[in-house]
A and B are shown apart, each in its own frame.
Chain A
C-alpha cells in the first residue's frame, strides 16, 4: 500500500450534518489492526469529595491523577473578551501531546486531481494492464465455465473502454497496474487486497467492472499452475493485442 493511498476526504456536509471525514481503505485497515495507544480516559474527582480535611481518623487519599490541578476541569473556558490571564486549565492528558518533539502532520485532506494534470508522473500503460488481465483470463478458459469467462471478459472490456476514454482517475489506473503486477507474480492475496481497496475507495468509478477482476483473481488462483504457462497463454502475454476478450 503506497503512502498516496492513505488519505482522508471530507465528509458529505450537504447530506449529513457534521458528517465525519472519510478514511481510505488503507488507513482504516492499518488502524484496525494496530494496537491502540493509551486511551485518554483519566477522570478527576470533584474537589468537594477529596480536597477537604478528613474529620474521621484515617488516610487522606491522594488524587489519582497527580498531574491535574484541583479545579473542576469541566468549567467553561475564559471568554474571549477578557484579557488572557493564567486560568487554571487541566494539564494535557498523560502520555499525550506535549511529549511530541515534532509537529504531527494535520489531516492530509485530498482533493481528487484531474487526470490531465498528473499524466506526467508514472502513467501506467493501459495495454500492459489489459494484456496481463487477458493472460489470466485465457488461462482460466480451460477449466472455468464459458459463461463466467465471458462475463469477466465483458467487464474487462468495460474497464478498458473507461480507461481509454479518460473516465478513470490516476489512482485507479495506478493501482490497477499494481494489481496486475501482483497477479503476474501469483501474489493472489495482495492482488485481492488491492481490488478491495479500489472498490472501497473508488466504488463509483470501478463498481460496474471490478467484480470481474475480483472473479478473475479468484478463478486464477485456483488453477493448476501449469495452466498459467501454456504456450497460448505466453503468446498472449508476448503480444500486446487485446483480441482475445471477445
Chain B
C-alpha cells in the first residue's frame, strides 16, 4: 500500500530506521504469533547532508536509571519551563540556558523534523586519530612493490594531523621508530614468543622504570603524545616514512622448496594491539593489517609451513580435522576483545590466491567494526581502489570514517531490548530495559562500535512485554531512542540522538492493519542476520530448517487460503516479496557453504551483517536488470554486491547495422549503471563482462532462478532455453511446496 511504503521510506531517509512492523502488537503473546519479532535495522551515522549539528550538550532526563535525551515526543510546559520524559514520565526542569524558549521559539531538539539530531560536544582536548600499519613482507616482489606504493600513496590520504605507525613482519616482527632525523631504528621481536601487553610496552621502552616510587609503585607510562616514537604525526614523518616504505624488502629468510614462508601474524597483531593499549587507550585508532598469506608460525597460526598440508577446508572442519582452528580462533578472539575494549579497530586486507585464515581472524574486524578486504594480489585494481575508498570523503569534504562509537538504546516500558547483531561488542550495561531472551549480542542496552561508516547498520531486536489483554498503553504509542556517541574524523566528539515512535495496535481486532504495516524488506534482512548469526554456532541444516519453519508459520498466519487447497493460497502485497527473499537466502553463500571456502564464507558474512538494507537485499537477492528493446539484444547487469556481471546475448552484428543505430546505446546503458556502482561501492566488486556461452557467464547462471534445470528439462513443456546445471529447486517449485505446507491442516 502506497502510504505505508512512503511512511517507511521517509522514516528511513530521516532517521535511518526500518522496523519489521510499523504497528506494534500490544501484547507479548500476539507479538510471538507474528513470527517476525518487533525489530529494526538502524544506521547510526546515516548520511544526512541536510542536518546541521548543534553546538551544545543534550538535555537529559534527571532520573538516574533513565537519562533519556529531550526529544520531540516529550510533553512540554513552556510556561513553567518543565518537560516530561516520554520514557519514564519524570518531570524535569529545563536548564537555565533554555529560559527563552516558548511555543513559537522551540529548541531544535523539540521539533518533529529533528527526530534525528546531532550534538557537538567537546570534552577535554581533541584526540588525534591513529593509523597503525602492520605489513606482511612475505610477498612476491611484484606484490610487495604494489603494496608499498599503495601505502606511500595513503600517507597523502590520511587526515592531516593523524598519527601513523609501522610494524612489519615475516619470520620476525619489527616495530619501526619514526623519528624525523638520523638512522631509522626498529625493535625486533621473535615471531614465536607470546608476550604480555606489559612486556611489550617495557621492551619498546614505553614505560619509565625511574618513575616507580619508594613504595615500589608500578612504573608509570610516559606521556604518549610526547614520547611515542612509534606513532608520530604524519605531517612530520611523511617524508621519512615514504623512504622507509620504499626501502622495505621481502622477508630475508629463505623459503625452502615445498614450504610456505614463516609468517608471524599472531605476534605482529599482539604487538600492535599492545602498543596502542599502552599508549592511546580510548582514542580512535585503526590497525590496518596487510597480509599475503596465512599465519604459519607462532600463536594464531592457521596452517603449518609444509605446502603438502593444505589449509583447512569445510570438509576438514566437519570431520574435526582442522588442527589449529580452535586455538587460533581463541587467540584472535582475545586480541579482538582487547582492541574493542580500547575503542581500537582492526582492518584486514588479505590478498592471496589461497586462503589466508579469515575464518580464524574474522572476529578482529567483526568485533571492532574494522574492514575486511579480500583479493588475489596487491597489484590489482580491486585492492588499490578498495583501499583508497577507506579514505573517501563525503560531499562536505569530510572523511566518512568515525571512531569510538557507543550506541545506547532506550525504550518505552512495554518494550525490552533482546540484543543486537552487527559489528559491535557488548558494554554489559545493565538496566531496566533488558530482556531475558537474548538475541545476538544481548544482556545489555549499550554496545561499542569502534569503527563506523555512514552505512554501518545494526539489527536490533525487541520484546513486547505487555500482558495479553492488558489495555493499550496510554498515549497509544511506544517509543525507542538511539543515542550514538562517537568521535568524528575531524576529532570532534559528537552525539547523535534518534527518537522514533510507533502506534500500538490490538492484534486481535486490527490484524489487517498490522499486516499492512509489515516491512518485508527490512524483515527479510533482520531474519537473515539472525540466520547468519545462528549459522556461526549451529549446524547448517538446522539453520535452514529454522528459517523454513519461520517462513511457513508466517504464511500460515497471514496467507489467505482455503484449508488444504494450495491453489487458493495468496499473500497480500506487504508480504508477497518475503518468500522469494527466503528462497534466495537459503541458497546464498551466507547459508550455503558448499562451493565457497571457509574464508570466503567469513568474508561474505562479515559484509552481510553490517551493510544497510539496500545493500543487504542485493546480497540476498541480486538484482538483475535487463535492457532490451526487442529480443534482438538482451544485456543484463547483475548487481550482487561482490560482483557486477554484464552479460550480453547478442544476435551477431545487429548493433552495427545502420537501421539498428539506436540499439548501440543499449550496449552502454548497463555499463553506465555499472559504472555508478563501481565508482562508489565499498568494497570494490569484481567486474565480469561476459556473453552468452562465455565461461564467465557461470556467475550469472549461478544466481538466477533455475526454473529449468537438467532435472526438469523435458518435463515442463516451457519454451526451450539454456538449462542451468544445478540441483537447486526453482522458485516455482519452492513456492508450490510452501503453499502446500502453509495450507495443510497437518502442519
Q: Are B239 and A104 in contact (CB under 8 A)?
A: no
Specify which chain A residues have a CB less than 8 angstroms from the CB of B688 in the assembled complex: 18
Specify which chain B residues have a CB less than 8 angstroms from the CB of A15 in the assembled complex: 142, 376-377, 379-380
| B126 at the binding interface (Cβ < 8 Å) | no
A29 to B391, CA, bound (A): 11
| A211 at the binding interface (Cβ < 8 Å) | yes
A interface, how many residues as a size bin? Answer: 35 or more
| B671 at the binding interface (Cβ < 8 Å) | yes
Q: In A26-79, which residues have CB < 8 Å from any B CB?
A: 27-29, 31-37, 39-41, 43, 45-46, 48-50, 52, 54-56, 58-59, 61-62, 64, 72-79
Judged by DSSP, the binding face of B is mixed
Q: Are B704 and A74 in contact (CB under 8 A)?
A: yes
| B477 at the binding interface (Cβ < 8 Å) | no
A89 to B624, CA, bound (A): 12
Whether A80 contacts B672 in the complex (CB less than 8 A), given A31-B680, A32-B392, A41-B623, comes out as: no
**Residue interface mask B322-344, A partner, CB < 8 A = 1:** 00000000000000000000000
| B542 at the binding interface (Cβ < 8 Å) | no
The one of B565, B693, B701 in contact with A80, judged by C-beta atoms closer than 8 angstroms, is B693
| B103 at the binding interface (Cβ < 8 Å) | no
| B554 at the binding interface (Cβ < 8 Å) | no
Q: Are A85 and B631 in contact (CB under 8 A)?
A: yes
Q: Are B235 and A11 in contact (CB under 8 A)?
A: no
Name 19 interchain pairs, CB-CB below 8 A, sorted by A: A23-B678, A33-B395, A39-B614, A40-B625, A49-B571, A55-B565, A72-B731, A74-B707, A75-B721, A80-B692, A92-B625, A100-B665, A103-B665, A103-B668, A207-B149, A207-B152, A207-B153, A207-B246, A211-B239
Q: Are B722 and A76 in contact (CB under 8 A)?
A: yes
Closest to A154 in B: B239
Closest to B705 in A: A74
| B238 at the binding interface (Cβ < 8 Å) | yes
| A166 at the binding interface (Cβ < 8 Å) | no
Of the listed stretches B62-70, B193-201, B420-428, B573-581, name the one at the interface; the rest are far from the partner chain: B573-581
Of the listed stretches A175-183, A197-205, A223-231, name the one at the interface; the rest are far from the partner chain: A197-205
Please count the residue pairs between chain A and chain B whose beta carbons lie under 8 angstroms apart in the complex. Answer: 270
Q: Are A89 and B722 in contact (CB under 8 A)?
A: no
Specify which chain A residues have a CB less than 8 angstroms from the CB of B672 in the assembled complex: 97, 104
| B732 at the binding interface (Cβ < 8 Å) | yes
Given contacts A11-B381, A55-B561, A155-B239, 11 further A-B contacts (CB under 8 A): A18-B686, A40-B623, A46-B576, A49-B571, A49-B735, A76-B701, A77-B722, A96-B625, A104-B665, A147-B181, A208-B242
Q: Are B573 and A199 in contact (CB under 8 A)?
A: no
Specify which chain A residues have a CB less than 8 angstroms from the CB of B383 in the assembled complex: 16
Q: How far apart are B39's CB and chain A's nearest CB, in angstroms?
A: 21
Q: Are B576 and A50 in contact (CB under 8 A)?
A: yes
Q: How far apart are A245's CB and chain B's nearest CB, in angstroms?
A: 15
A211 to B393, CA, bound (A): 21
| B413 at the binding interface (Cβ < 8 Å) | no
Q: Are A76 and B376 in contact (CB under 8 A)?
A: no
Q: Are B705 and A211 in contact (CB under 8 A)?
A: no
A207 to B707, CA, bound (A): 53
Q: Are B692 and A72 in contact (CB under 8 A)?
A: no
Whether A20 contacts B614 in the complex (CB less than 8 A), given A211-B152, A211-B239, A214-B238, comes out as: no
Q: Are B631 and A31 in contact (CB under 8 A)?
A: no
A79 to B389, CA, bound (A): 40
| B627 at the binding interface (Cβ < 8 Å) | yes
Q: Are B382 and A49 in contact (CB under 8 A)?
A: no
| B157 at the binding interface (Cβ < 8 Å) | yes
A106 to B675, CA, bound (A): 10
B interface, how many residues as a size bin? Answer: 35 or more
Specify which chain A residues have a CB less than 8 angstroms from the CB of B37 in the assembled complex: none
Specify which chain A residues have a CB less than 8 angstroms from the CB of B235 in the assembled complex: 215, 218
Closest to B5 in A: A64
A212 to B739, CA, bound (A): 69
Q: Are A50 and B671 in contact (CB under 8 A)?
A: no
Judged by DSSP, the binding face of A is loop
A37 to B673, CA, bound (A): 9
| A82 at the binding interface (Cβ < 8 Å) | yes
| B720 at the binding interface (Cβ < 8 Å) | yes
| B255 at the binding interface (Cβ < 8 Å) | no
| B467 at the binding interface (Cβ < 8 Å) | no
| A161 at the binding interface (Cβ < 8 Å) | no
Whether A28 contacts B679 in the complex (CB less than 8 A), given A49-B570, A104-B665, A207-B149, comes out as: yes
Closest to A15 in B: B377
Specify which chain A residues have a CB less than 8 angstroms from the CB of B388 in the assembled complex: 28, 200
Specify which chain A residues have a CB less than 8 angstroms from the CB of B724 in the assembled complex: 76
| A110 at the binding interface (Cβ < 8 Å) | no
Q: Quick one: which of A49, A64, A195 has the most chain B CB within 10 A?
A: A49
A49 to B735, CA, bound (A): 8
| B568 at the binding interface (Cβ < 8 Å) | yes
Q: Are B394 and A56 in contact (CB under 8 A)?
A: no
Whether A45 contacts B687 in the complex (CB less than 8 A), given A20-B381, A22-B381, comes out as: no
| A105 at the binding interface (Cβ < 8 Å) | yes
Q: How far apart are A101's CB and chain B's nearest CB, in angstroms?
A: 10
A36 to B395, CA, bound (A): 12
| A184 at the binding interface (Cβ < 8 Å) | no
| A243 at the binding interface (Cβ < 8 Å) | no
Specify which chain B residues have a CB less than 8 angstroms from the CB of A211 in the assembled complex: 152, 155-156, 238-239, 242
Q: Are A214 and B679 in contact (CB under 8 A)?
A: no
Q: Are A31 and B708 in contact (CB under 8 A)?
A: no
A49 to B555, CA, bound (A): 11
**Residue interface mask B555-577, A partner, CB < 8 A = 1:** 00000111001011111110011
The one of A73, A85, A215 in contact with B626, judged by C-beta atoms closer than 8 angstroms, is A73
A21 to B389, CA, bound (A): 14
Q: How far apart are A33's CB and chain B's nearest CB, in angstroms?
A: 4
| B696 at the binding interface (Cβ < 8 Å) | yes
Q: Are A207 and B242 in contact (CB under 8 A)?
A: yes
Closest to A63 in B: B573
A231 to B432, CA, bound (A): 73
Q: How far apart are B6's CB and chain A's nearest CB, in angstroms?
A: 13
| B178 at the binding interface (Cβ < 8 Å) | no
A73 to B392, CA, bound (A): 36
Whether A19 contacts B382 in the complex (CB less than 8 A), given A52-B570, A208-B246, comes out as: yes
A31 to B684, CA, bound (A): 14
| A114 at the binding interface (Cβ < 8 Å) | no
Whether A11 contacts B380 in the complex (CB less than 8 A), given A49-B735, A79-B721, A211-B155, comes out as: yes
Q: Are B376 and A75 in contact (CB under 8 A)?
A: no
Q: Are A79 and B560 in contact (CB under 8 A)?
A: no
A28 to B381, CA, bound (A): 13
Whether A214 contacts B626 in the complex (CB less than 8 A), given A12-B379, A21-B687, A78-B719, comes out as: no
Q: Are B664 and A93 in contact (CB under 8 A)?
A: no
| B550 at the binding interface (Cβ < 8 Å) | no
| B375 at the binding interface (Cβ < 8 Å) | yes
A77 to B705, CA, bound (A): 12
Q: Are A72 and B560 in contact (CB under 8 A)?
A: no
